[in-house]
Structure formats: C-alpha cells, structure tokens
Amino acid sequence: MFAKRTEFLKASEVRELLKLSDVNDIISFGGGLPAEESFPVEEMREICSEILEENGVKSMQYAISEGHVGLRKIIVKLMAEKGIHANIDDILITSGSQQGLDLTAKVFLDEGDTILCESPTYLSAINAFKPFYPKFTEVDMDEDGLIPADLIRKLENSSNVKFLYTVPDYQNPTGRRMSLERRKSIVEIANRYNIIIIEDNPYSELCFDGRKLPPLKSFDTQGRVVYLSTFSKTVCPGYRIGWACGTQDIINKYVLFKQGTDIHTNFFAQMQIAGYYEKYDIKEHIRSNVEIYKSRRDAMVAAIEKSFPEEVEYTRPEGGMFLWVTLPECLNTKELLLKSLKRGVAFVQGSAFFPNGGHENTLRLNFSGLNEEKIAKGINILGNLLKEELYAERLAGC
Amino acid sequence: MFAKRTEFLKASEVRELLKLSDVNDIISFGGGLPAEESFPVEEMREICSEILEENGVKSMQYAISEGHVGLRKIIVKLMAEKGIHANIDDILITSGSQQGLDLTAKVFLDEGDTILCESPTYLSAINAFKPFYPKFTEVDMDEDGLIPADLIRKLENSSNVKFLYTVPDYQNPTGRRMSLERRKSIVEIANRYNIIIIEDNPYSELCFDGRKLPPLKSFDTQGRVVYLSTFSKTVCPGYRIGWACGTQDIINKYVLFKQGTDIHTNFFAQMQIAGYYEKYDIKEHIRSNVEIYKSRRDAMVAAIEKSFPEEVEYTRPEGGMFLWVTLPECLNTKELLLKSLKRGVAFVQGSAFFPNGGHENTLRLNFSGLNEEKIAKGINILGNLLKEELYAERLAGC
C-alpha cells in the first residue's frame, strides 16, 4: 500500500525527544531549540496590530509563491552584507530552511544520484533527501570543517554526483566552522568538477568568538552555489520562514516545485518578519541573543571539563547551538541514551547524523535551549553516568 | 544538472495569472481567491494580541510536527459533525491542503503507480503528484460527479493503482458535486478493489443550494479514505493551515514525511485559527460568506445567460468557487486566453486540468474573488469575444 520510501524513513529521534520533553521535566540536550528568552514577543504584538490595521486583507489572502516582496528586499540586503550580490528574483521565501532542503531534492535529485556531505551531517537534511533515493558519500572533516583533499578523493571515486551539501558555520551536529581557506578551495573544486553546492547556513549569525566568515556563495563566480538560510535562529522558529538564494534560473525551478508543495509560505508570517526588520534593530537583537548563547556554551564546556571522564573528546564551538561528543569506542550511545533518559537527561545519539550509519560512540548536545543551571545539572548527571559506564567497561576489559 | 522531473513541470498558469492580476487592473476569473470581504480582520487583531499575551513564547518556538493539540481537537469536532469519527492522533495539521497532496505523494507513490482521478481534476494536485512519476488514468464524470461504472472499467484495465483522487464537493474545476448514492458506491468499489481514496474536500462548507452531503470518509469502514481539508475557504488562505485525517497508521507516515518537508506548520497561525474557532461563531461566519459567494455565483450565471452564445455549455454550481465552460470544439481556449487578456479578462484554460491533456475547448471561471459588478463586466467582455470568435469560425466553416 505505502511507497517504498516509507520503509527506510524512521521517526526523527530529535522530534520524538521533543515530544518527550514537552510532557516531562526532563533536561533535554536533544532538541535544537533557540533560547525562549530571545523571542521578541512584545515587539510582535505591535507588529501584528500594525499588519492587521494597514494590510489586514492582504495578509490573509493567497499570495505569490516567490514570497513577500518587502521581505525579499530585506534578504537582498542581508545577502549583500555577506558579499552575495542577489536581486529579489534570486530569492525564494521557503517554509523554514527545511523546505529549502525538500525543494533542493525535488529540483536536483534523480534516483541513484550521489550527494556528497560532511561526515557527520545534518540529520533532517538526510531525511529531506532520502525520499528521493540518492546515495550519500560522506566526506571527512576536522576542526576546520570539510577536508578538501578528501572531497577530491570522493569526487574521483563517485558517479553521478549531483551536489555537495555543506553546513559551513557552526555545523549541526558538530559545532565546527569551515575555515576561510577551505571555503575558497571548496568552491574552486566544485567549479573544477562541475557540481552544485548546497550551502545550508542557519547559524552564521550566532558567532560568539572571532569574526564572521564570508559564505561559500560569496566566492561563487559560476552560479553553482545555492544558499539556504532562515529567520528561525535570529527571530524565531515557530513562524517557519526561511529562504533560498541562487541564480534566477535555479530559483525559478524551486518556485515551480514550491507551487505544488504548499503554494506559498504563510503570508502573515512573512509580513511579521519583514515588520520586525523594518521597525527594530536586528543587529542589536542578535548581539543580545549571542550573549545568551555564549554564556550557555561556556556553561556547557565548563561543566563538561568538570564532570566528563578524561577519555571523552568534545568540540568547543565558537558559535551556533551544538557541541559534539566522541566517547571511547567501547561505549554505545544508543544504550547510553536509554540509561540517561531514566536519569532525566536527553541527547541525540550521533549515529543518526551519519547517512551511512556507524559511529555508535558519538552524541550531540544542544546548549542553546536550556539555562546555565539546567545545563550544569544535566551535564553533571551525564558525566556521572559516563564515568560509571566507562568503569564498568574497563572491568569488562574495554 | 536538474532532475528529470523539472522537464515536465510547467509554471502553474493560475499562479502566473495571479502575478499578472497583482500588477494590472485586469478582471481575473483565473485565480481561486476567496472573497476578501469574508476575512475576519478585526477579530484576528484581538486573537493575535491574546496569543502574544498568554502564549507568546510558545507561539514562536518550534513545535511538534503533528500540530497544535487545541486545533486538532477542534478538527476532531468538525469531522464528527460530518460523520467521521476520528481522534487527535488521526489528524495532522498541514501547511495548507496543498501540502496534504505533497505528503500523499510521498507516502503512497512509487514510480509508475497509477492514480485514478476525475476528468478533469484539480490542477495543483496534478502538479503535486507528477514529481513522483505516476501515471494518471482519468475517470469520466457527469453532473453527479465521478461515474462508478467508468471507475470499475478503469480499475479493470489499469495496473498498479495506488489511489483514487477525488474532489467530491463543488469540484475544482467543474463546480460539480458527487451524489450521495455515488459516494457510497465509490467507497464500496474501493473496498472491493483494495485501493486508497484521497478525498480532497476544501469546498464542502461553501454550500449555497440544498443540504450538505456526508463525505466519502463517513462511509469508510476499512480505514482506506484519507480526508484532506483546509481553513483557507472558511477563515483565510494566507495562513496556509489545512489538515489530513486518516487512520493513525496512515497519518503516522504523513507525520514522518512532514518532518523532512518543513518540520511543522507555522505554530502562531495554528493558534490564530484555533483562537478564531474558540472565540467566534464559525457557523455564522460561514453563513455570511456563503451569502457573498451565492450572490456572486448568481451574478455570473445571470451574466453568462445574457451574453454567452447559445452553443456554449456551462455548469451551474450549487456551491464552491468555480464554474466550468465547454465551448464548441472548433474553439481553442489557449488562443482565446491571449485575446481575452488583451481585453482585460483572465480565465484558466481547461486543458490544464486534464493530466493527459486535450479538451482545448474548455475553460474554468472563478466567481468567488470578484464583486458582482466586475463579474458582470468581465463576463460581458468574454461573451462578446466568444460571439466574435464563433462568428469567425463559422465563416471559416466550423
């Protein structure tokens, strides 16, 4: 009765955990929730009132698939600040950045095409692409992101490569950032091998340490980078407003599939986001959000240093929302998760982020959604569990 | 570079026309716009204010893919009023009914599967299904909707039939309604041939004449009907809030793909719709909307009677938003549309609603989006054009 693709699609454990964290008072490092304290609730009341007073009917009627013109103009400016020269016809408003991934699959993927991606990569990108039956070839990464030499190796040994999918800034799940040098080098490799780059960049504004780096698309001279982003991490995720930016030729294809997918994105919400950017100081807003996130990152790193066993490795992200933990290979984070949940702490097992499986000794921690106190408490519980598990494994000869 | 499916997907002419009607003062019977006068703008101001006061943070945060619990409870009641016994786990909130179609394709369609549908059928359903490479087998219809005997004939002569797609109430594009007897008979045929029915039912509330009929799903004793609907025609389309209702087993699959498609539907908008149903009298609201639509339908039928040539056939819908016109076969509505646009009147050529093409002498007219004066004016222009064209064709020997 069901399509074949239903067989390999499993429930997102992050989502299932989110449901769990709705009903229990669990400390969840599992989701990817922005800090609630960062939402401009009061400002939105004013904006809603204004929209309904000035453009009530328009905000409730059907609209064009491409998206609200005023919002696209705002995005053109955001892009220009990052060194990306676009006009409004190069922008499509999407229902969250997640829809950018669904449309990417529809526009580019034939069955059996190869997707190159970081190892590990964003779980929900895997879930967006998989229904279209691609193959995934994982490319090695280190602290500076995707490794160009390994990318070339994989390109030489793969057939039907359609695109490279990359999250260069504070990657979900590792929190790593791709270096400037590698950004240039990877665009150059894409030119040489004639492949598309899907640059998924939701976290670039959440930069705690050092300076922001220009996106890969800013080095794109051949129109082969599609840049996806979202207002979920700068305003709020509940409105599901993201965008795709690419050459008009490519964006036109995205628009075509957008029509069959959901006709257009909620128009009232597009006006809400546009209204926020027009009336308020977004840079100041992001600065104050970054303070919250930085403090939470610091709290998590400090708690890990204090309570995790020495054998455990972890990233120290300079931005974003996630931190990546690698345990000794004898530990299995699927089993660990069950034990951890019993003690009231959730995380996501790392294997979910590897499209071809494996890496059962890794896990992802989110630090943006909980306050410092809960972070310290939860990491301490997790640290104690890890010590016990390692001790038991050592007795067993690990 | 692009996927194969990009080759056969053309821009929706309705959408392109919508863009056109944004910038010019054309009289457009092309779109499917609800009457602007029907939108509860003032009420929404109050609702937005309340949401942000009482649940501001929650309305802006990520939420579960299944949708707002309060809204799903409201839908459970709406379903019960129609004789459909569901609980909230049988309901998924979708980003408009259109997304219900996209998810339907993902859940059910393998390449080469056959979709049975009315001839003609909803254009954007064709566009939602086509990217998954199905075959379409069109089933004949008459004034009482889909013809059961032809459905059986097509079932006997098709392979890999996955589902029947039907719009039983005031169908887009014909405005026809399926009779009670046929509803029962078609569910029974689906049982016999073990196929799924996708019942797309956005227009059932827009009933001008006579009584509402129970949906096909109310006769479904085997859990094989998936019911799709929307608040676009009862509250407003701009918020993109629809739902799918089916057995939990089926809806769970929809939820899985929903996660990869856009994670969840705009949560603020779900609260807006729920707030409207909780605070206001929706039945009264729909009653007053129906008055508007009925009057516009009457205006269109009267104008057609007055100004269309006698050889032209058309439906007299008892509800919904559309009227279907069949011209003498010598006329081609694609050519007619270009001429009509020059005179300031738009419609949609009917061939777009036949997945396998043909029927170049048909067209669809929308009567919900324009006031009576514009309807009379536009139909008069169209009628004059039709008379001229028919006269010219007759001279040429049509």
Instruction: Scan for tokens 């490479």, then name that residue.
Output: B133
pLDDT at A9 over 90: no
Contacts of B56 in chain A (CB under 8 A): 39, 41-42, 44-45
What chain A holds in terms of domains, given with CATH numbers, is 4-39+284-395 (3.90.1150.10), 41-279 (3.40.640.10)
Contacts of B102 in chain A (CB under 8 A): 260-262
Nearest beta carbon to residue A2 from set B101, B107, B111: B107
- Nearest chain A residue (CA) to B369: A61
Q: How many Cα atoms sit within 13 Å of A285 on the Cβ side?
A: 19
Judged by CB atoms closer than 8 Å, whether chains meet at B60 and A237 is answered as: yes
- Do A225 and A187 touch, CB atoms closer than 8 A? yes
Nearest beta carbon to residue A60 from set B1, B41, B263: B41
B270-324 residue pLDDT tens = 999 999 999 999 999 999 999 999 999 999 999 999 999 999 999 999 999 999 9
Coil, helix or strand for B116?
strand
B146-163 residue pLDDT tens = 999 999 999 999 999 999
Q: What is the pLDDT of residue B20?
A: 58
Banded model confidence at residue A247, pLDDT cuts 50, 70, 90: very high
Q: Tell me what the mean pLDDT of segment A131-159 comes to.
A: 97
B182-236 residue pLDDT tens = 999 999 999 999 999 999 999 999 999 999 999 999 999 999 999 999 999 999 9
Judged by CB atoms closer than 8 Å, whether chains meet at B268 and A267 is answered as: no
Banded model confidence at residue B393, pLDDT cuts 50, 70, 90: confident
Banded model confidence at residue A396, pLDDT cuts 50, 70, 90: confident
B89-106 residue pLDDT tens = 999 999 999 999 999 999
Q: Tell me what the mean pLDDT of segment A135-159 comes to.
A: 98
Specify the DSSP class assigned to residue B62: -
- The dihedrals phi and psi of A196, each to the nearest 5 degrees, come to -80, 145
Residue type at B24 in one-letter notation: N
Best A17, A95, A121 member to test B by mutation, with max B CBs in 10 Å, is A95
Pairing state of beta strands B241-245 and B91-95? antiparallel
Query: In this complex, is the C-beta atom of B36 within 8 Å of any C-beta atom belonging to chain A?
Result: yes
Q: Nearest CA to CA, how far is A109 from chain B (Å)?
A: 5
Cα A114 to Cα A163: distance, rounded to the nearest angstrom = 7
Coil, helix or strand for B231?
coil
Nearest beta carbon to residue B18 from set A59, A64, A272: A64
Q: What is the pLDDT of residue B361?
A: 98
Query: In this complex, is the C-beta atom of B369 within 8 Å of any C-beta atom belonging to chain A?
Result: no
Please tell me which residue, A31 or B212, carries the higher pLDDT value: B212
Query: In this complex, is the C-beta atom of A161 within 8 Å of any C-beta atom belonging to chain B?
Result: no
Best B64, B133, B268, B289 member to test A by mutation, with max A CBs in 10 Å, is B268
Query: In this complex, is the C-beta atom of A69 within 8 Å of any C-beta atom belonging to chain B?
Result: no
Query: In this complex, is the C-beta atom of A253 within 8 Å of any C-beta atom belonging to chain B?
Result: yes
Nearest beta carbon to residue A62 from set B6, B33, B264: B33
Tokens of A109: 């993927």
Nearest beta carbon to residue A266 from set B18, B41, B240: B240
Judged by CB atoms closer than 8 Å, whether chains meet at A262 and B41 is answered as: no
- Nearest chain A residue (CA) to B63: A238
pLDDT at B22 over 60: no
Judged by CB atoms closer than 8 Å, whether chains meet at B11 and A259 is answered as: yes
* pTM summary value: 0.96
DSSP codes, A104-157:
HHHHHPPTT-EEEEESS--HHHHHHHGGG--EEEEE-EETTEE-HHHHHHHHHT
Beta pairing partners, A93: A243
- Which of B174, B202, B197 is closest to B364 using CA atoms? B174
Whole-number average pLDDT of chain B? 95
A163-195 residue pLDDT tens = 999 999 999 999 999 999 999 999 999 999 999
Judged by CB atoms closer than 8 Å, whether chains meet at B240 and A257 is answered as: no
- Nearest chain A residue (CA) to B267: A238
Judged by CB atoms closer than 8 Å, whether chains meet at B6 and A107 is answered as: yes
CA dihedral A307, A309, A315, A320 (to 10 degrees): -30
Nearest beta carbon to residue B63 from set A235, A238, A268: A238
Nearest beta carbon to residue B131 from set A95, A128, A257: A257
B129-148 residue pLDDT tens = 999 999 999 999 999 999 99
A350-369 residue pLDDT tens = 999 999 999 999 999 999 99
Judged by CB atoms closer than 8 Å, whether chains meet at A98 and B263 is answered as: yes
pLDDT at B16 over 70: no
pLDDT at A18 over 70: no
Nearest beta carbon to residue B236 from set A2, A33, A60: A60
Q: What is the pLDDT of residue A8?
A: 80
Would you tell me which residues 116-135 of chain B have a C-beta closer than 8 angstroms to some C-beta of chain A?
124, 127-128, 130-132
3-state helix, strand, coil in chain A (%, to 5): 50, 15, 35
Nearest beta carbon to residue B128 from set A62, A255, A260: A260
The answer for residues whose C-beta is within 8 angstroms of residue A177's C-beta and 6 or more apart is A144, A145, A168, A169, A170, A171, A213, A317, A318, A319
Cα B347 to Cα A95: distance, rounded to the nearest angstrom = 29
Judged by CB atoms closer than 8 Å, whether chains meet at A41 and B62 is answered as: no
Judged by CB atoms closer than 8 Å, whether chains meet at A15 and B61 is answered as: no
Whole-number average pLDDT of chain A? 95
Banded model confidence at residue B119, pLDDT cuts 50, 70, 90: very high
Q: Tell me what the mean pLDDT of segment A57-76 comes to.
A: 97
CB atoms near residue A284 (< 10 Å): 9
The answer for residues whose C-beta is within 8 angstroms of residue B45's C-beta and 6 or more apart is A48, A49, A52, A53, A56
pLDDT at A23 over 60: no
Cis before residue B148, ω within 30 degrees of 0? no
- Which of B113, B95, B114, B112 is closest to B103 using CA atoms? B95
Contacts of B235 in chain A (CB under 8 A): 60
How many beta-carbon contacts under 8 Å exist across A and B? 241
3-state secondary structure labels for all residues of A152-176: HHHHHCCCCEEEEEECCCCCCCCCC
- Do B337 and B360 touch, CB atoms closer than 8 A? no
Cα A187 to Cα A209: distance, rounded to the nearest angstrom = 25
Best B68, B224, B256 member to test A by mutation, with max A CBs in 10 Å, is B256
**Rg of chain B (C-alpha set):** 21
pLDDT at B23 over 90: no
Coil, helix or strand for B226?
strand
Best B62, B64, B65, B258 member to test A by mutation, with max A CBs in 10 Å, is B62
CB atoms near residue A13 (< 10 Å): 19
